[in-house]
Structure 1
Amino acid sequence: MDISIRNFGTISEADVKIGGLTVIAGENDTGKSTVGKILFSLVKAISRYEDDLQEDKEYKIISIAERIYFTLRKKLNINQNAELRVLFHPRRLHDQVRLYQEAAIYERIEALKKLYIDNSISKSDYNNFRHDMQEIRDTLFDTEDRFTAISKAVKKAFYSEFRGEIYPKGSASIDVSQVYIRDGVSPLIDIQWSKEGVNHFAYFDELSFDDATFVDTPSIIQFHSFTDMARTLFDKSNNHPGFTVPLHIKDLSTKIKESIYTYNLFDSYHHVNHKLSNTYKGRLYYDKDSAEFLLDRGTYKVNSCNVASGIKSLGIFDILVQSGHASPRSLLILDEPEINLHPKWQVEYARAICELIRLGSNIIVTTHSPYILEALKGFCVKDDLYHNFYLAKKHTESSTLTDVTNNISVAVETLSSPLFELNEELYDDF
C-alpha cells in the first residue's frame, strides 16, 4: 500500500510505502508523526463508520425528543401528569422508539392528538409536535449510503487528530492539500482540502487494516483515569461539558486497559512477550480491582507511579502485542519509541519490532535515534524482512520525506550530527 501526501501540515511532499516495517527518521518538527496520524485517522474512521452512523442517529433522535419534552413542559404542567412525563421523557422516548419503532411513535402521536382534542395544546403546537415525531421516524429509518457515512467519519477523525490544521499555515501559493492512497495500481482513497476544508473526497475500496493503534507517550499509564472521563472530537455528543483528548490517546488507553480480557489469545507472539518481559524484568498489567497499572515481578508488585518511564514504554508495547494489536490485520504506529529508553533497551525494542514483522505484523516507526535506526535496519537485513526507510527533512517552511531504504547512512549522519558538532565545539582547542 502506498500513501502520497502533498501540502499537509508541515509536509509538502511525501510518498511512503506501508506494509512490513516502515521507518521515518528525522529531527523534531519535520512532520515525522503526520504519516502515522493520517493512516490512524483513516483506519479508525473506516472501521467504525457504522457505529458512528448509529451514534449519529441516536444523537439526532435524542435532540428532537428533548425539543418535544421541553416545549411540552412550557405548555403544560407535566408534574401533574406522570404518564405524559414518562411518555415524552427524552431518554425513554429514544429507548422506546429504538425498541418498538412505529408502535412507539404512533403511541406518542395519539397522546399528542388527545391533548389537542382536550384543548390542552393549540393546533399549531400539535402540528409542530407531529412534525417532530415524523422527523424522528425519518431519522430512525434513514438509510444513509455507505459513502456518505464514511466521508463524515473520516472528516471527524481528521478533526479529532489535527484540530482542523491540515492546510499549511502561512502558505498563500498552495492550491490544495492532498492525501492519496493506492494498493498497487488500484486507488483506495483520495482526499483534497482547500483553506475552507474538504473539497474532494473519493472512496474506492477498503484499506488493508481492520484497526490501527498509535503509541506516542508512556504517560498514558499514569493518566488513564482522566482519559476515561475525557471525550474525543470524534464523539458526537461534543456539546456536553468536559475536556477533550485526541482520538489516538483515548483509543490507546482503552486498549491497554481492556487487555485483561484478551491476554494470551495470540500464541505465536508468546516468545516476543517473554523476551520483552525479560528485558524489563517483570510484566506490566492493568489490575481491575485497584484500577491501577501494576508491575508484577513475581514475589512482589509495584504501582506504576513508582515505575520508571522506560519500563512503562516497554510495558505498553508488551501489552499491545499480547492483546493482539500487532496482528497482521492491524497497523501499529510507534511514535519515537526510544523516548525514555537507554540505548541497550532501544536495541531490544527494535529486535522485538523486527520479530513481529517476521510474524506478519505491519508497523510504522518514527525516530530520531541513530541507535534504533541502525538496529531496525540491521535486523531487517539480517532476517530478510520487508522494510522501507525514509528521512524527513526540514526546509524553509515545510518538510519532505526521502526514501533512504538502500542507504540509511545519510539518515544516521543527520541524527548523529549534533554529537559530532558538540565534540568539535568542545575539543576544538586541543
Structure 2
Amino acid sequence: MKLSINNIGKLKNAKVEIKGITVIAGENDTGKSTVGKILFSVFNSFYKLDEKIIKLKKTNIQNYLQRLITTNPFEDYPDFSKLIEKIFKDSSIYDKNDLKLRNDILYFIAENKTKSEVDEINETNDDYFENQIKKIQEILRISEEAFINFILTKNIGNEFSNQINNIYLKSTGEIELEIRNKRVAIAVENDDVKSLGSKFYLDNEAIYMDDPFILDELNSNKKNRNNENDVILANHKEHLQNKLIDKNPNIIEEIILNSKLEKFLKKLNEIFKGSISADRNGYFVYKREGQPKELNIKNLSAGLKSFGILKMLSQNNLLEENGTIILDEPEIHLHPEWQIKFAELIVLLQKEFGMHILLTTHSPYFLKAIQVYSKKYEISDKCKYYMSELDGEQAILVDKTNNLEDIFYQLTIPFENLMNKEELL
C-alpha cells in the first residue's frame, strides 16, 4: 500500500509505504496526524462503495415514499421493500418515463389503501405527489461519479473540519492511494474533492484509534446511530464507536481469529485481565477475571482503556486479516513500561494477522520498542520509518528507515538540552 499527499492541511509533501508497520515520528504540529486522517477517510470512502451508493439512494427514496403514505406505518405495507427494489431494477426505464414511475407507485398505494384514500392523493395532493415523484427521479439520475465525489468530500472534510486545503495557501491538494496495483487519484480545490481516473473498491475498512476515552462515550451514547447517511459519513471517532457498540458474532471467524492471534491474545490478557461487555441495562462495564463485581468503564484508568479498545476489537471479531489500523500517538496515556508492552502487541498483530499498521509517535520508548520487537518477531523488513519536519510554513515527511538515529536524536534532544541546563545551575 502506498499513499502520496501534496498540499493537504499542514503537509506539503508526503510519500508513505505501508507494507507492515509504518511509523511516523516527529515534533508536534508537523503534520503527522494528517497522514492517518487522509488514509482513514479515503480508505473508508471506497470501502464497499457500491453498497454505500445503493444504501444512500434507497434511504432517500424511502424517505420520499414515506411522505406519500404517511397515514399508515411501513408495517402495513409488507411489499414496501419490493417496491424500492423494483424502482432500482427499472431505474433506466423510469429515467425516460416519469409517467410509468408515477403509475407504478400509485398502483402500489392502491393495493394497500382504500379507493377513497387513493382518490384523495390524485385529487387534493396531486402537486405534492408529482413533486415527490420528481425527487425520486432526481435521485435515480445521480451519477456514480457524483456520489463518489460527495462521499469523499464529506468524509475527508469531517476529518479536517472542512478545511482540507491549507488555509494559508492556494495550492491544489493531491492525494493518491495505491493498493494491490489499484490506484485512485484525488484532487482537492477549495476544500472540494474530486476523484480522478478509474473506479476503486475495497472490501476491508480501516480502524482509527487516537483517544482511549472514547470508551467513556459508549455509555453516553448507548443507542447506535440508525441513520444510514450518518453511518456512511461518520468521522473516525464515530466510526470506532459504532464498531465497539456493534458486535459481529461469527463462531467460525472467532475460532480462526483466536487461533491466528494466539500470542497476541495471550499477551493482551496478561495486561487486560477481563472483558468489556454490556450489562442488563445496556451499559458497558469491565468484568475482571475472578471478580463478580462490574466496573463502569469510565472508571478504568486511561492506560487500561487503550488496551481495552484492543480487547473489544478482538472480542467483537473486528480485527480483519490483512486489514488496516491507524494509531495516532497511542503512547500518550501509557507509562513507559506499558508503552513497550503496547508496542509488542502491535508487532504481534502484524506478525500473526498480516495487518497494515500506520502509527504516529513522539516517544523514543515506543519507537525503540517497535524496532526491537520487529527484530524479535522477524518482521523488520516490513517496517518503514518516517520523520515529519517543517519546511518553511509547511511540513514534509522524510524516509528514515535506514537512518533511525536521526529520529531518536530529534525525539531525545529536548531532554538532553534540559540535562545540559541542569549542569549549568
Specify the TM-score bucket, using the shorter chain as the normaliser: 0.7 to 0.9
AA in 2 matched with 1:85: T
For residue 275 of structure 2, the aligned residue among 272, 281, 284 is 284
1:106 equivalent in structure 2: 107
Moved more, 48-57 or 376-385: 48-57
Cα RMSD, aligned residues only: 3.4
For residue 154 of structure 1, the aligned residue among 143, 146, 152 is 152
AA in 1 matched with 2:61: I
> Which structure 2 residues correspond to residues 241-252 of structure 1 after superposition, within 5 A?
247-252=235-240
AA in 1 matched with 2:241: S
> Is 1:23–1:367's contact at 8 Å kept on the other side of the alignment?
yes
* Inter-CA distance 289–51: structure 2 relative to 1 (3 Å threshold): farther
* Inter-CA distance 145–328: structure 2 relative to 1 (3 Å threshold): farther
For residue 198 of structure 1, the aligned residue among 193, 196, 215 is 193
Deviation at 1:371, TM superposition (A): 0.4
> Which structure 2 residues correspond to residues 122-137 of structure 1 after superposition, within 5 A?
126=126, 129-130=129-130, 132-133=132-133, 135-136=135-136
Deviation at 1:325, TM superposition (A): 3.6
Could you list the per-position Cα deviations for residues 259-294 of structure 1 after superposition, in whole angstroms to 9, with x for gaps in the alignment?
A: 5735843121132111112134x1231234242231
Deviation at 1:252, TM superposition (A): 1.4
For residue 85 of structure 1, the aligned residue among 71, 79, 82 is 71
1:221 equivalent in structure 2: 215
* Inter-CA distance 372–63: structure 2 relative to 1 (3 Å threshold): same
2:390 equivalent in structure 1: 394
TM-score by length of 2: 0.81
In the alignment, the residues of structure 2 paired with residue 300 and residue 116 of structure 1 have an alpha-carbon distance, to the nearest angstrom, of 61
2:168 equivalent in structure 1: 170
For residue 403 of structure 1, the aligned residue among 392, 395, 399 is 399
Deviation at 1:196, TM superposition (A): 5.4
* Inter-CA distance 370–109: structure 2 relative to 1 (3 Å threshold): same
AA in 2 matched with 1:294: Y
Percent identity over the alignment is: 26
Deviation at 1:358, TM superposition (A): 1.4
In the alignment, the residues of structure 2 paired with residue 409 and residue 220 of structure 1 have an alpha-carbon distance, to the nearest angstrom, of 34
> Which structure 2 residues correspond to residues 346-425 of structure 1 after superposition, within 5 A?
346-359=339-352, 360-385=354-379, 386-425=382-421
Deviation at 1:402, TM superposition (A): 0.7
> Is 2:153–2:192's contact at 8 Å kept on the other side of the alignment?
no
Deviation at 1:23, TM superposition (A): 0.7
AA in 2 matched with 1:256: L
What is the DSSP-based 3-state SS (H/G/I as helix, E as strand, rest coil) of the residue aligned with 1:121? helix
What is the DSSP-based 3-state SS (H/G/I as helix, E as strand, rest coil) of the residue aligned with 2:406? helix
> Is 1:65–1:93's contact at 8 Å kept on the other side of the alignment?
no
Could you list the per-position Cα deviations for residues 307-362 of structure 1 after superposition, in whole angstroms to 9, with x for gaps in the alignment?
A: 21111111212332454444333101111111211111111111111122212121
In the alignment, the residues of structure 2 paired with residue 121 and residue 384 of structure 1 have an alpha-carbon distance, to the nearest angstrom, of 76
Could you list the per-position Cα deviations for residues 24-75 of structure 1 after superposition, in whole angstroms to 9, with x for gaps in the alignment?
A: 1112222212212212112222224344323322443344346657xxxxxx
> Which structure 2 residues correspond to residues 261-280 of structure 1 after superposition, within 5 A?
261=249, 264-265=254-255, 266=257, 267-280=259-272
In the alignment, the residues of structure 1 paired with residue 212 and residue 373 of structure 2 have an alpha-carbon distance, to the nearest angstrom, of 25
2:11 equivalent in structure 1: 11
What is the DSSP-based 3-state SS (H/G/I as helix, E as strand, rest coil) of the residue aligned with 1:358? helix
